[in-house]
Amino acid sequence: MNKSQEIYEIIDNWLSTVEDCDSKRISQLYAKDGILLGTVAENVKQGRAVIKTYFDEFKKKNPVGVLNSIIFTELGCSYGSADGNYTFELDEKSGDEVIRVKVPARFTFVVCLKTKFIHIHHSSSTPENKIF
């Protein structure tokens, strides 16, 4: 298996685990001192316990995601990164109702190929006012 395929499988497993809404299992996919800059987070999250608290809240939105595009980069023998776009469908309150909304976002994952852990994960909503 080539490194791009390994990186893809780590991210695909992350996406499936997020959809299962088990925040403890999700947090275990990150390195012990892993970093998360979440799509809907105000601050940087570091460490599994703090990352778990982020996903404790995120799972309440019943996330379902799809990868739209992905670019792989090898970072030496043991690490790789992936950058791209995904779209999540999330539950959002609208008055007294809950509606499903689509949230297009962009991401960067830095992963260790030996341990399969995510070391850095940055995700941010795609800007609405695109310049180009």
Digit-coded pLDDT (tens) for 59-71:
999 999 999 999 9
Does 121 score more than 80 pLDDT? yes
Any domain includes 43: yes
| Sign of the C-alpha dihedral computed for residues 114, 116, 117 and 120 taken in this order | positive
Domain that residue 15 falls in: 3-125
In percent, the amount of the chain with pLDDT more than 70 equals 97
Any domain includes 131: no
Any domain includes 132: no
Number of domains in the chain: 1
Any domain includes 130: no
Express each pLDDT in 70-106 by its tens digit: 999 999 889 999 999 999 999 998 889 999 999 999 9
Any domain includes 96: yes
Ramachandran area for residue 14 (φ above 0: left; ψ -120 to 50: alpha; else beta): alpha
- Whole-angstrom Cα distance, residue 83 to residue 18? 18
Does 130 score more than 70 pLDDT? no
pTM: 0.92
Model pLDDT, residue 128: 77
CATH number at residue 121: 3.10.450.50
Any domain includes 74: yes
- Whole-angstrom Cα distance, residue 107 to residue 114? 22
Any domain includes 21: yes
